[in-house]
């Protein structure tokens, strides 16, 4: 209550006037309206404390990976056999591994690999799902039947097993792991995009655009796809935790990133041998995986609350 | 009378049509599964001929082996041969164990089944009541706690949790026995009848072995069960919330029924039907989760077999295992669909 009074009283300061400009119920321009909508969404988002924590975690992950050379106290891949399996100390906060490499530094550099996997899988899988789903939903008929049958087949597979089979065929390695995870991740996106497409397909604005001469490609890319985006973004964000866990699982089995890459799953796998005596080697990277996937889960939940039109009224 | 008969025959026709559609869709899915494993087997960079004859074989031997393996035929014929073999239960030979893959899988599968079943049992036993409580106390602390339990379950890597469990309960506290299914001392003392150690030991009356097997089972099953608990409780909560907002609940309360009866009998009774699907799905997911858990606990099941074969590039075994897990998955989905039809009279009528 008090804050509101303050805002109305001190309208002169630039910050408050920006706030008022953004929340104006009679926006003077398209730009103002658009920014205003984004600002309201942001306000809604920040009300959800857990979602803000999620955003902070993902933000730190980004910072960590960009600033890795500055932040990491040691080089990630240079062995120092005089420092093998050192426990946690002020010199090595998280201890060292079996080759004397600083675990903290390896975790910091490993954030790059995690981001690399997550971003690439999203970039490959989301557009594929979007394309399959919108085309299938828009065209309907035989195309829809065939595409959805293929989607169902992929959905009927347990994801990790399918990824395992693909990696075993393609050979281990981080790129192949990414490809395998992407191949198993697109079907839910196709389902979502199809459902959204079917609900908007017969709307008047689509008919209007068609009457103005828009072809199917333009209709799908210009009118249908933007409407699918918000549900897709939510789903991709929520899936990112799963992607990280799958990638780490593949790394743990020795099928993902290969040594000496500081991939978190592979680090846990190598620490397994010393689990009972040097527990930190396997434990620390696991905490990193947990925190990052928790961040994506929290962020995804928050985004769902803000972006999902179905819950907007509440 | 005639009217009723008419209705029944119409219902019958609808049932038949539904069944045909179902069978068709399952067959198509299974065929897709076969196609995927077949194609994966064909794109492997490992030359299957070289793998059989060795790299010192002469060109003639190589060619003969190639023809013997049917690799000179066009792809669609090879696929046909593959399908025929699979339907005869022939998944090829494992390079690693030199046994037919089918024999290997039959040997290891009960271990996975045992683990996944006990884990699902734990997940249902704890997850359903927790979900109900969270729905009843929506927004208050029991709900918040369950939300945290769920978030943790969705964010933590299962293999890491397994390792931490081993470290704590085996390494530090000494409460749990180490990895494996039995202590070495008891290994091979009872005949595998069903392959499920608990049942075999109980049937043989070897209670010491039963106890030992149970002790080995409890940690991996709890860890796997935790993931199924996270999923089942979350779904139970949302189903319960849906029921609790219905008018019949208000009616029951107004009639003066105890809130215990309203919640656990009236509302929960209607939740079981959709819950069956969820439990079936989580059972399928556990089969997948068992790949990593079994590797951590050296549990000699299908997942362990699969990863060991993967590391030694034993393609027949890998593809056979993939096919079996995929088929079980399809089977579970089919079963849960059928159960749904059976349990919910509304689904039957529609």
Closest chain B CA to residue A286: B160
pLDDT at A11: 46
For residues B171 and B162, the answer to whether their CB atoms sit within 8 Å is no
CB contacts of A286 in chain B (<8 Å) are 156-157, 160, 163-164
Interval B66-95 mean pLDDT: 82
CB contacts of B157 in chain A (<8 Å) are 245, 248-249, 252, 265, 268, 286, 289-290, 293
pLDDT at B48: 67
pLDDT tens per residue across span A109-146: 999 999 999 999 999 999 999 999 999 988 888 888 88
- Name the 3-class secondary structure at B93: strand
- Name the 3-class secondary structure at A102: strand
CA distance A285 to chain B (A): 9
**DSSP-assigned states of every residue in A239-302:** HHHHHHHHHHHHHHTTSSSPTTS--HHHHHHHHGGGTTTSTHHHHHHHHHHHHHHHHHHHHHHH
Buried b (16+ CB within 10 A) or exposed e, A189-200: bbbbbbebbeeb
CB pair distance less than 8 Å for A158 and B326: yes
CB contacts of B288 in chain A (<8 Å) are 158-161
Name the band, by pLDDT with cuts 50, 70 and 90, for residue B157: very high
A305 versus B347: which is more confidently predicted?
Answer: A305
CB contacts of B160 in chain A (<8 Å) are 248, 268, 282-283, 286, 289-290
Query: How many beta-carbon pairs below 8 A join chains A and B?
Result: 144
CB pair distance less than 8 Å for B310 and A164: yes
Q: Count CB-CB contacts under 10 A for residue B30.
A: 19
- Name the 3-class secondary structure at B100: strand
The CA distance from B109 to B90, in Å, is: 16
The reply to whether A311 touches chain B by the CB within 8 Å rule is: no
CB pair distance less than 8 Å for A290 and B157: yes
In this model, does residue B308 exceed pLDDT 90?
no
CB pair distance less than 8 Å for A275 and B291: no
Closest chain A CA to residue B161: A286
- Residue A260: asked if its preceding bond is cis (omega within 30°), the reply is yes
CB pair distance less than 8 Å for A286 and B160: yes
The reply to whether A125 touches chain B by the CB within 8 Å rule is: no
CA dihedral sign, ordered B212, B215, B220, B221: positive
pLDDT tens per residue across span B17-74: 877 877 887 888 888 888 888 888 777 666 667 766 677 777 788 788 778 777 777 8
The CA distance from B99 to A35, in Å, is: 67
Place of tokens 């969705």: B154
CA distance A256 to chain B (A): 12
- Name the 3-class secondary structure at A29: coil
Interval B285-302 mean pLDDT: 86
CB contacts of A279 in chain B (<8 Å) are 167, 171
pLDDT at A309: 53
**pLDDT tens for the 314 residues of chain A, in order:** 444 444 444 444 555 678 888 887 778 888 888 888 888 888 888 888 888 999 999 999 999 999 888 888 888 888 888 878 878 888 888 888 888 888 899 999 999 999 999 999 999 999 999 999 999 988 888 888 888 888 888 887 778 888 888 888 888 888 989 998 998 899 999 998 998 888 888 888 888 988 998 888 888 888 888 888 888 888 888 889 989 999 999 999 888 888 888 999 999 988 888 888 888 888 999 999 999 999 999 998 888 877 765 544 33
Of A165, A282, A298, the CB nearest to B322: A165
Of A169, A276, A286, the CB nearest to B157: A286
For the stretch B113-117, contacts whose Cβ atoms lie closer than 8 Å and that sit 24 or more positions apart, written own/partner, are B113/B195, B113/B196, B113/B301, B114/B196, B114/B197, B114/B198, B114/B217, B114/B301, B115/B217, B115/B220, B115/B221, B115/B224, B115/B286, B115/B290, B115/B293, B115/B294, B115/B299, B115/B301, B116/B224, B116/B283, B116/B286, B116/B287, B116/B290, B117/B283
- The ipTM is 0.83
CA A279 to chain centre: 30
pLDDT at B220: 93
Buried b (16+ CB within 10 A) or exposed e, B317-331: bbbbbbbbbbbbbbe
pLDDT tens per residue across span B221-275: 999 999 999 999 999 999 999 888 888 888 888 998 888 888 888 888 888 888 8
CA distance B49 to chain A (A): 16
């Amino acid at each position: 209550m008090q804050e509101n009074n303050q805002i109305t009283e001190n309208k002169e300061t630039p910050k408050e006037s920006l706030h008022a400009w953004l929340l104006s119920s009679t926006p003077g321009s398209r730009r103002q309206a658009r920014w205003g909508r984004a600002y309201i969404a942001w306000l809604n988002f920040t009300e959800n404390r857990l979602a803000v924590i999620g955003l902070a975690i993902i933000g730190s992950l980004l910072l960590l990976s960009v600033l890795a050379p500055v932040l990491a106290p040691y080089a990630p891949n240079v062995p120092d056999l005089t420092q093998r399996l050192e426990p946690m100390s002020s010199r090595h906060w998280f201890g060292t591994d079996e080759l004397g490499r600083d675990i903290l530094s390896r975790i910091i550099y490993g954030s790059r690999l995690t981001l690399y996997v997550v971003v690439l899988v999203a970039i490959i899988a989301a557009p594929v799902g979007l394309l399959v789903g919108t085309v299938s939903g828009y065209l309907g008929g035989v195309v829809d039947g065939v595409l959805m049958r293929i989607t169902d087949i992929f959905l009927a597979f347990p994801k990790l097993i399918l990824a395992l089979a693909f990696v075993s065929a393609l050979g281990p390695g981080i790129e192949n792991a990414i490809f395998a995870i992407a191949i198993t991740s697109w079907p839910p996106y196709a389902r979502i995009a199809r459902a959204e497409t079917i609900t908007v397909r017969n709307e008047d604005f689509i008919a209007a655009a068609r009457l103005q001469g828009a072809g199917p490609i333009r209709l799908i890319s210009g009118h249908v796809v933007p409407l699918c985006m918000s549900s897709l973004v939510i789903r991709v964000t929520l899936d990112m935790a799963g992607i990280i866990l799958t990638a780490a699982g593949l790394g743990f089995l020795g099928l993902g990133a290969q040594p000496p890459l500081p991939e978190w799953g592979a680090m846990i796998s190598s620490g397994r041998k010393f689990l009972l005596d040097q527990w930190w080697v396997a434990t620390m990277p696991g905490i990193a995986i947990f925190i990052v996937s928790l961040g994506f889960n929290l962020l995804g939940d928050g985004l769902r609350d803000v972006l999902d039109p179905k819950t907007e009224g509440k | 009378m005639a009217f009723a008969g008419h209705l029944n025959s119409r219902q019958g026709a609808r049932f038949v049509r539904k069944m045909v559609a179902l069978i068709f869709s399952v067959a198509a899915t299974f065929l897709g599964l076969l196609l995927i494993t077949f194609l994966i087997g064909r794109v492997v960079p490992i030359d299957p001929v070289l793998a059989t004859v060795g790299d010192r074989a002469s060109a003639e031997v190589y060619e003969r082996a190639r023809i013997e393996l049917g690799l000179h035929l066009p792809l669609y014929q090879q696929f046909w041969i593959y399908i025929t073999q699979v339907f005869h239960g022939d998944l090829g030979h494992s390079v690693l164990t030199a046994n037919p893959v089918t024999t290997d899988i039959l040997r290891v599968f009960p271990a996975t089944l045992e683990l996944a079943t006990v884990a699902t049992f734990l997940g249902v036993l704890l997850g359903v009541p927790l979900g109900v409580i969270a729905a009843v106390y929506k927004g208050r602390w029991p709900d918040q706690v369950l939300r945290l339990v769920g978030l943790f379950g969705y964010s933590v890597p299962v293999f890491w949790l397994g390792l931490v469990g081993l470290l704590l309960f085996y390494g530090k506290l000494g409460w749990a026995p180490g990895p494996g299914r039995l202590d070495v001392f008891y290994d091979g003392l009872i005949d595998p009848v069903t392959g499920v150690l608990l049942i075999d030991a109980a049937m043989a009356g070897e209670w010491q072995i039963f106890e030992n097997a149970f002790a080995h089972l409890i940690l991996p099953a709890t860890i796997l069960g935790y993931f199924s608990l996270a999923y089942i409780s979350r779904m139970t909560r949302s189903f319960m919330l849906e029921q609790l907002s219905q008018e019949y609940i208000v009616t029951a309360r107004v009639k003066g029924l105890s809130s215990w009866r309203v919640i656990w009998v009236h509302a929960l009774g209607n939740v079981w039907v959709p819950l069956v699907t969820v439990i079936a799905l989580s059972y399928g997911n556990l089969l997948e989760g068992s790949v990593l858990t079994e590797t951590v606990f050296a549990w000699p099941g299908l997942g362990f077999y699969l990863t060991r074969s993967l590391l030694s590039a034993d393609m027949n075994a890998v593809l056979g295992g993939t096919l079996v897990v995929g088929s079980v998955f399809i089977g579970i989905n089919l079963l849960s669909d059928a159960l749904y039809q059976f349990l919910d009279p509304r689904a039957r009528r529609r």
